[in-house]
Structure 1
Amino acid sequence: MTDPNTNADHRETLDRDLHRFSHLETATQYVGRPMVGIGISLLFIVIAGVGAGLLFGQTPINMVVVAAAVFGAYMALNIGANDVANNMGPAVGANALTMGGAIAIAAIFESAGALIAGGDVVSTISKGIIAPETMENAQIFIWAMMAALISAALWVNLATWVGAPVSTTHSVVGGVMGAGIAAAGFAAVNWPTMGKIAASWVISPVLGGAIAAFFLAIIKWRVIYREDKIAAAKRWVPILVGIMAGAFAAYLALKGLKRIMKIDIQTALTIGLVLGIAAWLVTIPLIAKQAKGLENRNKSLKVLFGMPLVLSAALLSFAHGANDVANAVGPLAAIVHATEFGSFSAKVAIPVWVMVIGAFGISFGLFLFGPKLIRMVGSQITKLNPMRAYCVALSAAITVIVASWLGLPVSSTHIAVGGVFGVGFFREWDTSRRMKKNNHARPPELRVAPEERRRRKLVRRSHFMTIIAAWVITVPAAALLSGVIFLILNAIVG
Structure 2
Amino acid sequence: MVLDAYTYVFAIGSCFALLEAFNNGANDVANAWATSVSSRSVTYRQAMVLCTIFELTGALAVGARTASTIKNGIIPASAFGDNAGVQLLAFACASAGASIWVMWCTRNSAHVSSTYALVSSIAGVGVAAVGAKNVQWGWSDGSGLGAIFAGLCMAPFISACFGAIIFMIIKLSVHKRKNPLPWAVWTSPGFFLIAGTVCTLSIVYKGSPRLGLDKKPASYIVAVTLGTGFGLCALSALFFVPYVHAKVIKKDHTLKWWMIFQGPLLFKRPPPPDADTNTKSIVPDYAVIQETPAPDTDSIAKEKLGNASGDDIKAVPVAVDPHVDNEKGAIGLEYTHAQYQKLLKDATKRHHANLRLQKGPLGWAMRVLHVNKLGAGSIHETHNMIALVKRIPAQIVVALLYGTQYDIHTAQVGINNSPEGRRMERVYAHAPRYPNEVEHLYSFVQVITACTASFAHGANDVGNAVGVWAGMYAAWSTGSPSQAKAEVPMWQLGVTAAVICIGFITYGYNIMKVMGNKLTYHSPSRGSSMELGAAITILIFSQYKLPVSTSMCITGATVGVGLCNGTFRAVNWKRVGLLFFSWVMTVPIAGLLGGCLMALAVNAPHW
What amino acid is aligned across from residue 159 of structure 1 in structure 2?
C
Q: Distance in 1 between matches of 2:605 and 2:194?
A: 54
The aligned counterpart of 2:560 is 422
1:205 to 156, 160, 172: 156
Alignment partner of 1:269 out of 206, 222, 244: 222
Matched, 1:350 2:488: yes
Counterpart CA distance in 1 for 2:163 and 2:217 is 28
1:130 match: secondary structure: coil
- Determine whether 1:188 maps to 2:134: yes
Secondary structure, in 3 states, of the residue corresponding to 2:40? coil
- Tell which deviates more after alignment, 59-68 or 468-477: 59-68
Q: Which stretch of structure 1 is more off in the superposition, 250-259 or 313-322?
A: 250-259
Aligned length: 412
Distance verdict in 2 for CA 1:162–1:266, change over 3 Å: farther
* Selected match of 2:438 from 285, 301, 304: 301
Partner of 2:502: 364
CA contact (8 A) 1:75 1:153 kept: yes
Alignment of 1:243 with 2:194, yes or no, is: yes
Tell me the alpha carbon deviations over residues 271-312 of structure 1, each in whole angstroms, 9 at most, x when there is no partner: 111221222222123224312363597221112112111111
What is the letter of the counterpart of residue 122 of structure 2? Answer: V
Aligned position for 2:30: 85
Aligned to 1:172: 118
Residue matched to 2:165: 214
Which segment drifts farther, 89-98 or 101-110?
Answer: 101-110
Q: In the TM superposition, what whole-angstrom CA distance separates every residue of 1:432-457 from its partner, at most 9, and x where no partner exists? A: 4xxxxxxxxxxxxxxxxxxxxx7xx2
Q: Distance in 2 between matches of 1:375 and 1:267?
A: 44
Check if 1:464 corresponds to 2:576. Answer: yes
Report the Cα distance in structure 1 between the residues aligned to 2:168 and 2:88, rounded to whole angstroms.
49
For the Cα contact (< 8 Å) 2:87–2:481, is it kept in 1?
no
CA distance in 2, matches of 1:306, 1:101: 13
Q: Show CA shifts across 1:309-359 (max 9, x none).
A: 111111211211121112322111111112222133442221233223311
Q: 1:366 to 1:293 in 2, by over 3 A?
A: closer
The structure in which a higher percent of residues are helix is 1
Query: 1: distance between equivalents of 2:195 and 2:77?
Result: 40
What is the CA–CA distance in structure 2 between the aligned matches of 1:206 and 1:112, rounded to whole Å?
27
Distance 1:280 1:178 in 2: 48
Residue 228 of structure 1 deviates from its aligned partner by 2.3
Tell which deviates more after alignment, 178-187 or 344-353. Answer: 344-353
**CA 1:112–1:281 in structure 2 vs 1: closer, same or farther (change >3 Å)?**
closer
1:490 aligns with 2:591: no
**Equivalent residue for 2:100?**
154
SS in 1 for 2:515: helix
TM-score of the pair, normalised by structure 1: 0.79
**2:3, 2:241 → 1: CA distance?**
59
Structure 1 residues 117, 182: closer, same or farther in 2, change over 3 A?
A: same
Alignment-derived partner of residue 544 in structure 2: 406
Distance 1:353 1:58, change over 3 A: farther
Confirm whether residue 70 of structure 1 aligns to residue 207 of structure 2. no
* 2:211 partner SS: coil
Q: Residue 376 of structure 1 aligns to a residue in which SS?
A: coil
Cα distance, 1:372 vs. partner? Answer: 2.3
User: What is the deviation of 1:264?
Assistant: 4.6
1:140 maps to a residue whose letter is V
1:135 corresponds to 2:135:
no
* Residue 284 of structure 2 corresponds to residue 338 of structure 1: no
Judged with a 3 Å threshold, the aligned counterparts in structure 2 of structure 1 residues 238 and 346 are, in CA distance, closer, same or farther, namely closer
1:284 alignment partner in structure 2: 237
1:95 is aligned to: 40
TM-score, normalised on structure 2?
Answer: 0.65
> Offset of 1:493 from its aligned partner?
6.8
CA distance in 1, matches of 2:4, 2:494: 23
C-alpha distance in structure 2 between counterparts of 1:120 and 1:62, whole Å = 27
Equivalent in the alignment of 1:15: none
Structure 2: distance between partners of 1:275 and 1:302: 26
The aligned counterpart of 2:588 is: 476
Establish whether residue 121 from structure 1 lines up as the match of residue 63 from structure 2. Answer: no
Secondary structure class of the residue paired with 1:134: helix
1:228 corresponds to: 179
Paired residue secondary structure (1:59): helix
Amino acid at match of 1:129: I
Change (3 A) 1:176 1:260: same
The 1:383/1:351 distance shift into structure 2, 3 A limit, reads: same
Aligned to 2:280: none
> How far did 1:386 drift?
0.3
Q: Which moved more, 1:148-157 or 1:375-384?
A: 375-384
Q: Is the 8 A contact 2:80 2:481 kept in 1?
A: no
Q: Could you tell me how far apart the structure 2 residues matched to 1:85 and 1:255 are?
A: 28
> How far is 1:468 from its partner?
0.6
1:37 paired residue number: none
> What is the CA–CA distance in structure 1 between the aligned matches of 2:173 and 2:33, rounded to whole Å?
26
Tell me by how many angstroms 1:491 deviates: 2.7
- Deviation of the 1:111 alpha carbon: 2.2
User: Is 293-302 or 457-466 further displaced after alignment?
Assistant: 293-302
Runs of 5+ consecutive residues of structure 1 not aligned to the other structure: 1-56, 433-453
Q: How big is each residue's C-alpha offset from its partner over 1:247-278, in whole Å with a ceiling of 9 and x where there is no partner?
A: 11222223665422233555323311122122
**Following TM superposition, by how much is the alpha carbon of 1:174 offset from its aligned partner in structure 2, in angstroms?**
0.3
The change in CA–CA distance for 1:103 and 1:487 in structure 2 (over 3 A counts) is: same
The answer to whether the 8 A contact 2:24-2:503 is kept is: yes
Instruction: Note the C-alpha offset of 1:227.
Output: 1.6
- Relative to structure 1, is the Cα distance of residues 152 and 225 closer, same or farther in structure 2, using a 3 angstrom cutoff? same
CA distance in 1, matches of 2:97, 2:525: 38
SS at match of 2:101: helix
Structure 2: state its 5+ residue gaps: 251-433
- Equivalent pairs: percent with the same residue? 29
Aligned residues of 1:287 and 1:304 also touching (Cα < 8 A):
no
Distance 1:270 1:165, change over 3 A: farther
Render the CA deviation track for 1:44-74: whole Å, top value 9, x for unaligned. xxxxxxxxxxxxx983322222222211111
- Could you give the per-residue CA deviations for residues 108-144 of structure 1, whole angstroms, max 9, x where no partner exists? 2212222332111111101001223233522222222
Given candidates 203, 206, 216, the residue that maps to 1:252 is 203
CA contact (8 A) 1:68 1:146 kept: yes
Higher relative contact order (CA 8 A, sep 6+): 2
Counterparts of 1:153 and 1:243, CA distance in 2: 35
Aligned residue in 1 for 2:396: none
